[in-house]
Amino acid sequence: MDEEPNGFRIWMPDQDCPGLAMARAFGGFCLKDFGLIKDFGLISTPEVTYRKLTKRDEFLVLATDGIWDVLTNNEVVKILASTKTRSTAAKMLVERVVRTWRYKFQCAKIDDCAVVCLFFKRRKPPMKSISDVTD
C-alpha cells in the first residue's frame, strides 16, 4: 500500500481483501479456508526466542505490532524510564505511539496499540530533604 510502504500484507487473489497484516497471521482464517496460507508464504508457526532474565533487567514490555512499527526498543525504554508512576507507564507509551503514528503515517489508520509493562524491581522512594523531615 502506498500509505504504508513498510507494512507487508497478504491479499486474496484478485480482491482488495482481507489485506492481512503479517503480525496478525493467527487471525487469517479466510485465507486458511481457501487453502491459500501455504500458497502465499504464511505460516502459523510463531518465531520464539528465549532470554534469561538477570538482576540488571528492570522491566518487560509485551506489545502489539502497532507499538514496534513506530518506536524502537531504545525509545520505549526511555519513555518507561521517564514515567513518574508505573501505573501510568503503559498509558504514556500508548499516547506517545498514537502521536508518533499521526506524525509518521498521516494518511494511514493507527494500528492496534496494546501494551503490558511488567516491572521487576521496586522503585526506591524519593530522598527526603531536610525541610521535609523538620516540617
For residue range 9-39, list pLDDT tens digits in order.
Answer: 666 667 666 566 655 455 555 555 555 555 5
> Predicted confidence band at 54 (pLDDT cuts at 50, 70, 90)?
very high
Average pLDDT in the chain: 75
Higher pLDDT, 121 or 135: 121
C-alpha cell at 10: 497478504
Contact criterion met (CB below 8 Å) for 62 and 118: yes
Question: What is the number of other CB atoms lying within 10 angstroms of the CB of residue 70?
Answer: 21
Domain limits of the chain?
1-48, 51-121
Q: What are phi and psi of 37, to 5 degrees?
A: -55, -55
| pTM metric for this prediction | 0.62
Binned at pLDDT 50, 70 and 90, residue 107 comes out as: confident
Question: Once rounded to an integer, what is the mean pLDDT over residues 69-90?
Answer: 91
**By three-state DSSP, how is residue 76 classified?**
helix
Instruction: Provide the CB-side half-sphere exposure for 53 (13 A, CA).
Output: 9
All cell numbers assigned to 50 = 528465549
Angle at 14 between CA 9 and CA 18, to 5 degrees: 40
Q: Is residue 123 pLDDT above 70, yes or no? A: no
State how far the Cα of 128 lies from the Cα of 98, in Å rounded to an integer: 36
**According to the model, what pLDDT value does residue 84 have?**
85
